[in-house]
Amino acid sequence: MFVNILQTSKSSSQKPNPWRISLQRLFFLRAAAQFVNSSEHQPMKHLSRAEIAVIKARILRGDLYAEIAADYRINQGRIADLKFGRIFAEVAPADLSDASVAG
């Protein structure tokens, strides 16, 4: 059953005002905006810079996005962001010649 979140009155004779938003919805929108705009919101907080360097090296090596994403439990879109320098552009790729970090 569809519930109109903008409708505040159950009376069928009164039309709902589309400009009137419930307080619950207003607080939700405010909290969502604060989260998105907060400086604490950083992509991939659970990965260290060393892991990001290894991911970048695996991208350069030609590993599939899906394999890398599955290994680190991240979205394939974040792999593309790393590849094109949209996030963590300052982190250089690791040297994968060492067998212990080859993944």
Give the model's confidence band at 97: pLDDT under 50 very low, under 70 low, under 90 confident, else very high: confident
Tokens (6 digits) for 50: 């060393």
- Check: pTM over 0.75? Answer yes or no: no
Cα→Cα distances 73→22, 44, 49, 76, 79, Å: 37, 10, 16, 9, 11
Q: Per residue in 6-28, pLDDT tens?
A: 555 555 567 777 667 677 776 77
- The residue with tokens 């899906």 is 66
Q: Per residue in 63-93, pLDDT tens?
A: 999 999 999 999 999 999 999 999 999 999 9
Kindly write down the DSSP assignment for every residue of 23-41, as one continuous string. Answer: HHHHHHHHHHHHHHH-TT-
